[in-house]
């Protein structure tokens, strides 16, 4: 279950704004606030089945967005490459000013990921 919580959390961070308002609310209440289907149903004033449907459709949509757009996959590849570049810069015997300049550029890129 923890793997699913982490998976949905990451997907939601990247694609959550693309979901309907009800799907966003249901996912936030269920995964982030750890409320039960009954508690969410009461808060959203819908049935437990309605909550389940919003969760299920939202989760499916998040997975489909990643399958089609691949933003998380690209992010992981870029992050890995930047980490390896950063390690290489630190290990190579180069002038400190050049090393500092390169490290600043790596950090600047990381901030935009």
pLDDT per position as a tens digit, 40-86? 999 999 999 999 999 999 999 999 999 999 999 999 998 998 888 88
Q: Do 15 and 73 meet the contact criterion of CB atoms below 8 Å apart?
A: no
10 torsion bin: left (phi>0), alpha (psi -120 to 50), beta (else): alpha
| CA dihedral for 10, 15, 17, 20, sign (positive or negative) | negative
Return the higher-pLDDT residue of 111 and 9: 9
pLDDT single digits (tens) 6-36: 999 999 999 999 999 999 999 999 999 999 9
- Residue 17 DSSP symbol: G
- Please report the pLDDT score of residue 88 as a whole number: 83
Measured from the Cβ of residue 10, the count of other Cβ atoms closer than 10 Å reads: 15
Residue 56's CB: how many other CB atoms inside 10 A? 12
């Amino acid at each position: 279950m923890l793997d699913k919580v982490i998976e949905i959390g990451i997907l939601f961070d990247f694609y959550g704004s693309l979901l309907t308002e009800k799907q966003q609310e249901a996912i936030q209440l269920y995964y982030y606030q750890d409320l039960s289907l009954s508690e969410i149903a009461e808060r959203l004033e819908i049935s437990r089945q309605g909550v389940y449907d919003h969760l299920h459709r939202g989760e499916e949509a998040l997975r489909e967005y990643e399958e089609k757009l691949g933003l998380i996959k690209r992010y992981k590849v870029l992050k890995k490459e930047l980490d390896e570049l950063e390690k290489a810069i630190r290990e190579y015997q180069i002038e400190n000013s050049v090393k500092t300049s390169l490290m600043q550029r790596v950090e600047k890129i990381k901030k935009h990921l």
